[in-house]
Structure 1
Amino acid sequence: SIGPGALGAIAAALGDPSLVLTLITAIGDVDSALPSRAMWELSRLPKDSSEYLQGLDAFLSEYGSRGPNEWDIRSDTWETKPALAISLIDTMRGALDDQSPIIRNEKNAELRRAAEKQVRTALMSQPDVLAQFDMALHSAHLYLAGRERAKTNIIKVVHEVRMAAFALAERTGYTRSQICMLLADELDAFASQPDEFRARLAQRERQYLDLFDLEPPFIVNGIVPPLSQWARRGETVTTSVVVGDVLTGAPGAPGLYTGKARVILDAADPSALEPGEVLVAPFTDPAWTPLFVAAGAVVVDVGAVVSHAIIVSRELGLACVVSATDATKRIPDGAVITVDGANGTVTIVSMP
């Protein structure tokens, strides 16, 4: 993260702190953006064509480890539940050809190259600082691509564990969810006497599912309060917005975009999103990436300068604001909003 930080310092010294966002835009070779490109190509093919079916098989073979909540072995992925991927591809079908992620990436790569030239021109009389800029730029691009590659590699390993767990569930008569309630030191005993664990795993699953009724506190550094102090979902009171209100988050990807807000809480159900609408989400991971292709801009409840939403938005040229706390609760579905990615603001233009 030293590279992006150094670029930020140089951009600020030149009087344009937002320039750093353009300098790390559309760097290419970002793993999390690759599935979107592959899905886009599939979305251009007739669903009943042999080319589509063969392409879908190849896609699932290459990217089947990805999916919603992919860190959790209990969750389905595109391989274990292909319908998740197919629904995302279908969402892209309504997008015009000029929304191609390849075309949008190249347009933003041109903006990045222009920004690089602008900085180099400004630093021409300061060769030492110019050298620092070039090193920071290379470091930032390498770091951002490497960060996504590291996650891809880990997710592939997690998926191998998932597939083994699902196979074990099928052989022993447990559900996929229940089998994931096993502890590592119980595996040998379970293999010998699987029926002895039915009551225990069922109880753990009930306790686990009960946690979904709670609202996790937002903590960066501190002590996590006990579960008894967590608010229950639906009980948290949020302030309603009115026309003219401005929600402030963190700048993610540069751009200014006005469009209809579409609040999507689950990447597994993207059907409500229409091309050109602003995707408003609680968080994002690679399973959300294909929705970015159809979206006009992105607003996320949580996130930071190197979060997934930002990295992918930069690759696709979408205005993006992260850390817009409670945006999914405060912004009504269908409201018209303006997303200012450079300044990290979301303005309510009109209500539905």
Structure 2
Amino acid sequence: MRSYVLFFEQVDRSCLPYVGGKGANLGELSKAGFPVPGGFCITTLAYQDFIATSPEMNSLLDELNAMDPNDLNQLRNLGERIRTHLRQLEIPAPLRNEIIHAWKSVGEEYAYAVRSSATAEDLPTASFAGQQDTYLNIKGQEELLQHIRKCWASLFTDRAISYRAKNGFDHRQVYLSVVVQRMVNPEIAGIMFTADPVSGNRKVVSIDASFGLGEVIVSGMVSADLYKVKAGKIIHKNVSEKKIAIYSLPEGGTVKKDLPPDQQTKQALTDSQILRLAELGKRIEKHFVSPQDIEFCMENGEIFIVQSRPITSLYPLPDIPQEPLRVMFSFGHVQMMTDAMKPLGISVLRTIFPKTVLLEAGGRLFVNPTEVLRTKLGRKMLPIALKNLFDEALSREISEVIHRPEFLQVPPKPGLVKSARQFVAPIIKEVWKNLFKRDPKSAKSKVESFMQKKWTEVRKDLQGVSGAERLETVQHQLSAFGKAMLQNIFPYVICFPISFLLLKRALIRWIGDDKELYQINKSLPGNITSEMGLQIGDLADLVRELPEVEEYLKHANNQTFYEGLLNVRGGERFKRSFEDFIAKYGHRCPGEIDLTRPRWREAPTQLVPAILGHMRSVKPGEHRQKFIQGEQEAQEAIQRIMDHVGRRGLKSKWLKRLIEVYRHMGGLREHPKYLLTLILDECKKAIMAEAEELVKKGVLQQTEDVFFLTLDELIQLSKGEFKQNVSSLVADRKEKYEWHQTLKPPRVMTSEGEIVTGSPRKGELPEGALVGSPVSAGVVEGKARIVLKPEEAHLNEGEILVAPHTDPGWTPLFQSAKALVTEVGGLMTHGAVVAREYGIPAVVGVNDATKKIKDGQMIRVDGNQGFVVILSDENEHHVG
């Protein structure tokens, strides 16, 4: 394709490299018969041949690619030089002649809109919309040529240069097409989103409209009318005051005019026009097979489409029908790991849990409890369970959806309640026995006996097999794991939150408050994750005695971690202790439910910040002393409770039983995840061994490429049955994973794509307070330390840990923290339980805490009422 000019009728999506996103979309619309004003695209070949006539452009582009994108002065100066140069550059005669011929073919009597269309524009993962310039109502040959040159120059506006630099686009590889389109002289114009850009609902069409040209909306000069349409009905209408409008001038150019007072508050579009427009928008969406951001205008009552591009800001949907309405919640939010996951990590978890329940969207997993929530009992019990086990906000948001008429009108699946009862009944029976009959002290040995047996079984099954057989064994073990854990560990662990709720109610009724409950939670016996934290403290105390080891750890790397220790005084002693720790906990890491994350055994330097941070903020032996002190405080609290209710009678017997269950079952809370990560690590070793074989055979380029395949695909690959190009597939998925990492997953979403926000928690709060859920009592003030990754933490004594979330991989930092604030979490999630054990205040579920709170600011954490107040910046003097 060597043409300088392509008319819209000649263009479709395959022409993207020549006409850019905007041009390709207009061509598609025009070819498909949608009402698009006529016009043509000046191709990227024209742009390339135009700049090739410049003797200076090569060196200017070299300067641009070598520039620091954060140096705004250099960016501004260089951009201005390039733009001035291109605006003064002559258009070569062959190109000029072809443009003039195309212009005359459409009609030289018309005015035109001249718009840029970049080749990297309006892609599913990046939108360059608005990065280059648009010129309206351009009339006459010389004006047209001048503005085409301006469009080419606008590829080098400051914001376009900055956007490309920050998003990793080479300035040489982004070319510009120019779209020349006949101007419509509209009475009304606007923007239509075929999915609600605020809530994400794919069923709602959102329309902004005002009088005159659409530039008045795009530039923000007026607040446009807002209309929302769903299923052929107008569901929302907000008619704004529109004081001004922009109109085309007969001689070319545009003018801004004040609207007459009676027109300012008039509804721009009639109801029938709104519905016609929404129906047209949905047809355009169907053509492009994705939600669209559409610019439209109306001339003499006729609708014209002047632009359509994909909406890139929507969170992706799981692969399920949008109807009937379903509701899902984020698995990552309840597991304290909201980061994007690679395909292997996702497929492993979907092997453990039913694929119909665990759905993938945007590189995250979502739990689909819809069928349970269709039942009356499910609607009553599940929100309560979610509130107490995981996240109060999540529970509120789920409740908001399940009481909508469109959700309630769908009946539950026939036989669901009966089959659920048959499955759950034996588990409930075991839970009842553990709560009221069995000796709570014996629970730990029973659970750990099962864990040892299961781990031994998995290791044995994976020994002596290789190739596809080894991977199929991995798959078999993972698929059997969920049911085994549910039957053998869950009946013990669930007693912890149940006894918590029963104790809370009993203490409030008989004593008047539940303050002692938080004291009882301290230093729970047998908590495998708390013991891990104590052993980190032991390692830190050992390093205090070995200054050369401390210095070595500051610069150690994973590849030579152990060998390097042998070259420093005391290194061998530390190595033995560290290896003992890794033997027990090396399968753990932050984000450990994702099999693809590097374990501590693979990347031991991840533990260094925790060890050094402990040395800075905790005195020698203090961690063990605190634990013993916590045990004493818990026993003293128990004694005060028993003294208050008396030592005899049913109350006393009931409370004593509940307290024993609470403490001993609470100590087992982290055991399920410990076992899960043990099994995941054994499976990872088997998978990586097979990956190495595939690399040797040349099937994979590197072992980590397996992370971008599913378990099923990996098995097919080992059998030689995989039909796709592996390298190409892996490259595509790596690119997609990079995009997924930029997304913020919703806590709750519907099958329509709506991100449910729910109503905020009510109550009197200080002005400007950041609201969350109170999960560990107490009020403290201190310096905020923002930690996004535990391996990069630098906590000092008396600092407050502010994190997106925490899981057992974060536990080593808790010894050093004065309080905890997280963006995700609930009463029974990891951070909350550990904070209560350590006796530090905690507030969880604080939206965007790591953005709203700045590193080093003085903050107050109120773990009693559940909010955080920013007191001052780091450099301000604080009087406490």
TM-score with structure 1 setting the length: 0.87
Q: How many Å apart are 1:109 and its aligned residue? A: 2.1
Tell me, in whole angstroms, the C-alpha distance in 1 between the residues paired with 2:588 and 2:776.
Answer: 24
Q: How many Å apart are 1:99 and its aligned residue? A: 7.2
Match of 2:515 among 1, 9, 18: 18
Tell me, in whole angstroms, the C-alpha distance in 2 between the residues paired with 1:99 and 1:289.
Answer: 17
Tell me, in whole angstroms, the C-alpha distance in 2 between the residues paired with 1:99 and 1:266.
Answer: 26
Q: How many Å apart are 1:255 and its aligned residue? A: 2.9
Q: How many Å apart are 1:78 and its aligned residue? A: 0.4
Match of 1:213 among 722, 742, 755: 742
Are 1:148 and 2:675 matched, yes or no?
Answer: no
Q: Which residue of 2 aligns with 1:122?
A: 644
Tell me, in whole angstroms, the C-alpha distance in 1 between the residues paired with 2:717 and 2:786.
Answer: 43
Counterpart residue type for residue 664 of structure 2: L
Match of 1:135 among 654, 657, 677: 657
Find the residue that maps to 2:750 and give its secondary structure.
coil
Which segment drifts farther, 281-290 or 118-127?
Answer: 118-127
Counterpart residue type for residue 348 of structure 1: I
Counterpart residue type for residue 706 of structure 2: I
Residue pair 1:177, 1:205 contacting (<8 A) in 2 also: no
Closer/same/farther in 2, CA of residues 79 and 307 from structure 1, 3 Å limit: same
Aligned structure 1 segments of 4 or more residues deviating by more than 6 angstroms: none
Alpha-carbon deviations, 1:263-313, whole Å to 9, x = none?
111122113x22221000111011111111111111111211111112222
Q: Which residue of 1 aligns with 2:718?
A: 191
Residue pair 1:267, 1:288 contacting (<8 A) in 2 also: yes
Q: Which residue of 2 aligns with 1:285?
A: 807
Q: Which residue of 1 aligns with 2:499?
A: 3
Q: Which residue of 1 aligns with 2:832?
A: 310
Find the residue that maps to 1:28 and give its secondary structure.
coil
Alpha-carbon deviations, 1:181-233, whole Å to 9, x = none?
322322333114489522223322322332111111122xx62554xx77xxx
Q: Which residue of 1 aligns with 2:709?
A: 182
Which segment drifts farther, 8-17 or 170-179?
Answer: 170-179
Are 1:270 and 2:793 matched, yes or no?
Answer: yes
Residue pair 2:520, 2:663 contacting (<8 A) in 1 also: no
Tell me, in whole angstroms, the C-alpha distance in 1 between the residues paired with 2:610 and 2:680.
Answer: 22
Q: Which residue of 2 aligns with 1:236?
A: none
Tell me, in whole angstroms, the C-alpha distance in 1 between the residues paired with 2:779 and 2:646.
Answer: 31
Q: How many Å apart are 1:153 and its aligned residue? A: 0.8
Q: Which residue of 2 aligns with 1:300?
A: 822
Find the residue that maps to 1:94 and give its secondary structure.
helix
Counterpart residue type for residue 20 of structure 1: L
Q: How many Å apart are 1:104 and its aligned residue? A: 1.5
Question: Percent identity over the alignment?
Answer: 26
Which segment drifts farther, 325-334 or 70-79?
Answer: 325-334
Q: Which residue of 2 aligns with 1:201?
A: 730
Q: Which residue of 1 aligns with 2:601?
A: 79
Tell me, in whole angstroms, the C-alpha distance in 2 between the residues paired with 1:179 and 1:249.
Answer: 39
Find the residue that maps to 2:646 and give its secondary structure.
coil
Tell me, in whole angstroms, the C-alpha distance in 2 between the residues paired with 1:164 and 1:102.
Answer: 37
Q: Which residue of 2 aligns with 1:112?
A: 634
Tell me, in whole angstroms, the C-alpha distance in 2 between the residues paired with 1:176 and 1:341.
Answer: 45
Alpha-carbon deviations, 1:88-139, whole Å to 9, x = none?
2122221232673222122222222222112111211772122221121122
Counterpart residue type for residue 15 of structure 1: G
Tell me, in whole angstroms, the C-alpha distance in 2 between the residues paired with 1:181 and 1:203.
Answer: 9
Q: Which residue of 2 aligns with 1:259?
A: 782
Find the residue that maps to 1:347 and give its secondary structure.
strand
Tell me, in whole angstroms, the C-alpha distance in 1 between the residues paired with 2:498 and 2:694.
Answer: 49
Runs of 5+ unmatched residues, structure 2: 1-496, 550-567, 756-765, 875-880
Tell me, in whole angstroms, the C-alpha distance in 2 between the residues paired with 1:224 and 1:75.
Answer: 29
Q: Which residue of 2 aligns with 1:240?
A: none
Q: Which residue of 1 aligns with 2:578?
A: 56
Tell me, in whole angstroms, the C-alpha distance in 2 between the residues paired with 1:265 and 1:215.
Answer: 14
Tell me, in whole angstroms, the C-alpha distance in 1 between the residues paired with 2:623 and 2:831.
Answer: 15
Residue pair 2:525, 2:664 contacting (<8 A) in 1 also: no
Alpha-carbon deviations, 1:225-265, whole Å to 9, x = none?
54xx77xxxxxxxxxxxx96433322222333211001111
Residue pair 1:251, 1:345 contacting (<8 A) in 2 also: yes
Residue pair 2:779, 2:860 contacting (<8 A) in 1 also: yes
| Alignment RMSD | 2.4
Q: Which residue of 1 aligns with 2:527?
A: 30
Residue pair 1:22, 1:253 contacting (<8 A) in 2 also: no
Counterpart residue type for residue 861 of structure 2: V
Which structure carries more relative contact order (alpha carbon 8 Å, separation 6+)? 1
Residue pair 1:105, 1:317 contacting (<8 A) in 2 also: no
Are 1:249 and 2:769 matched, yes or no?
Answer: no
Match of 2:536 among 28, 39, 49: 39
Tell me, in whole angstroms, the C-alpha distance in 2 between the residues paired with 1:103 and 1:247.
Answer: 34
Q: How many Å apart are 1:55 and its aligned residue? A: 0.7
Tell me, in whole angstroms, the C-alpha distance in 1 between the residues paired with 2:858 and 2:787.
Answer: 15
Tell me, in whole angstroms, the C-alpha distance in 2 between the residues paired with 1:321 and 1:102.
Answer: 25
Tell me, in whole angstroms, the C-alpha distance in 1 between the residues paired with 2:767 and 2:573.
Answer: 49
TM-score with structure 2 setting the length: 0.36
Tell me, in whole angstroms, the C-alpha distance in 1 between the residues paired with 2:743 and 2:733.
Answer: 16
Counterpart residue type for residue 146 of structure 1: L
Closer/same/farther in 2, CA of residues 295 and 177 from structure 1, 3 Å limit: same
Find the residue that maps to 1:67 and give its secondary structure.
coil
Closer/same/farther in 2, CA of residues 147 and 224 from structure 1, 3 Å limit: farther
Tell me, in whole angstroms, the C-alpha distance in 1 between the residues paired with 2:574 and 2:656.
Answer: 43
Counterpart residue type for residue 652 of structure 2: L
Tell me, in whole angstroms, the C-alpha distance in 2 between the residues paired with 1:224 and 1:112.
Answer: 46
Find the residue that maps to 2:667 and give its secondary structure.
helix
Counterpart residue type for residue 743 of structure 2: L
Q: How many Å apart are 1:152 and its aligned residue? A: 0.6
Counterpart residue type for residue 694 of structure 2: T
User: Rg bigger for which structure?
Assistant: 2
Residue pair 1:18, 1:342 contacting (<8 A) in 2 also: no
Closer/same/farther in 2, CA of residues 213 and 96 from structure 1, 3 Å limit: closer
Residue pair 2:526, 2:668 contacting (<8 A) in 1 also: no
Counterpart residue type for residue 201 of structure 1: V
Q: How many Å apart are 1:36 and its aligned residue? A: 1.4
Which segment drifts farther, 119-128 or 69-78?
Answer: 119-128
Tell me, in whole angstroms, the C-alpha distance in 1 between the residues paired with 2:729 and 2:515.
Answer: 54
Residue pair 1:258, 1:338 contacting (<8 A) in 2 also: yes
Closer/same/farther in 2, CA of residues 78 and 224 from structure 1, 3 Å limit: farther
Residue pair 2:618, 2:815 contacting (<8 A) in 1 also: no
